[in-house]
């Protein structure tokens, strides 16, 4: 979904503020949220993709104002509510997210690709700033559960994941900084072959 969570490339958030000697948790409730989410996912109330999508479904103002563990808290309330609404059925997926993919990888290192201009209303891991862009396969990682379907309870449908290298100017135009690139980890179905050299 084209939500507030998809922050890459946005303007207006000001300087990066570093808190000196920051504690791991700023209050006891933060640690408890982390632990509750970890256990709830391990007990399969939801899978990790559904949890991430629950964070994305928070109201945009809440997303920005709640802080990291505040977002986790809001998302945990959402998945617990939905789990109870489903009659407390558990997610059927396997452990972790790495999966064997029987098909050979479609793309090889060095190959030119273009990301599809996908605009799904559900969960996706194709950032907005990297849609419809030309890049090069930098690494062929492995097969992983496909978040777009898994978040919606439509199955794991594992795919190859690639690190795709994009020149900064391809992503951000002529105002991009010199001599910079961004690698984005992308699922195979986000990509199509790009004829010619990048």
Partner 1 sequence: MSDHDHDHDDDHDHSHDGPAQRNALRVEALETLLTDKGLVDSAAIDAIIRLYEQDIGPMNGARVVARAWSDPAYKQRLLENATAAVAEFGFGGPQGERLVAVENGPRVHNVIVCTLCSCYPWPVLGLPPSWYKSPAYRSRVVREPRAVLREMGLALPDSVEIRVWDSSAEVRYLVLPERPAEAAALDEAALAGWVTRDAMIGVGQPRAPHPRGSEGR
Please report how close the Cβ of residue 112 comes to partner 1 at its closest, in angstroms. Answer: 18
Closer by beta carbon to partner 1, 19 or else 196: 19
Closer by beta carbon to partner 1, 116 or else 172: 172
Please report how close the Cβ of residue 197 comes to partner 1 at its closest, in angstroms. Answer: 19
Cα separation, 104 vs 114, in Å, equals: 19
Smallest CA-to-CA distance from 144 within 164, 119, 121, 125 is with 125
What's the Cα-to-Cα distance from 80 to each of 31, 109, 166, rounded to whole Å? 18, 42, 39
Closer by beta carbon to partner 1, 10 or else 108: 10
Please report how close the Cβ of residue 195 comes to partner 1 at its closest, in angstroms. Answer: 25
Closer by beta carbon to partner 1, 181 or else 196: 181
Please report how close the Cβ of residue 172 comes to partner 1 at its closest, in angstroms. Answer: 5
Give burial (CB, 10 Å; 0-12/13-18/19+) of 141: middle
Cα separation, 134 vs 171, in Å, equals: 9
| CA 118, chain centre distance (Å) | 14
Please report how close the Cβ of residue 102 comes to partner 1 at its closest, in angstroms. Answer: 19
Smallest CA-to-CA distance from 93 within 146, 38, 33 is with 146
Closer by beta carbon to partner 1, 34 or else 112: 34
Cα separation, 51 vs 56, in Å, equals: 9
Q: Are 176 and 169 in contact (CB under 8 A)?
A: yes
């Amino acid at each position: 979904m084209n939500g507030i969570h998809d922050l890459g490339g946005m303007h207006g958030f000001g300087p990066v503020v570093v808190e000196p000697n920051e504690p791991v948790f700023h209050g006891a409730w933060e640690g408890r949220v982390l632990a509750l989410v970890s256990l709830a996912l391990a007990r399969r109330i939801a899978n990790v993709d559904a949890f991430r999508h629950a964070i994305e479904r928070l109201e945009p103002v809440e997303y920005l104002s709640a802080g990291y563990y505040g977002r986790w808290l809001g998302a945990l309330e959402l998945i617990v509510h939905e789990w109870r609404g489903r009659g407390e059925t558990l997610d059927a997926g396997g452990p972790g997210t790495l999966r064997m993919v029987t098909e050979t990888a479609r793309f090889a290192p060095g190959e030119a690709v273009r990301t599809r201009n996908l605009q799904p209303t559900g969960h996706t891991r194709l950032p907005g700033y990297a849609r419809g862009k030309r890049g090069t396969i930098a690494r062929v990682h492995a097969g992983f559960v496909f978040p777009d379907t898994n978040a919606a309870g439509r199955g794991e449908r594992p795919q190859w994941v690639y690190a795709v290298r994009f020149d900064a100017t391809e992503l951000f135009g002529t105002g991009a900084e010199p001599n910079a690139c961004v690698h984005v980890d992308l699922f195979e179905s986000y990509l199509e072959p790009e004829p010619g050299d990048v």
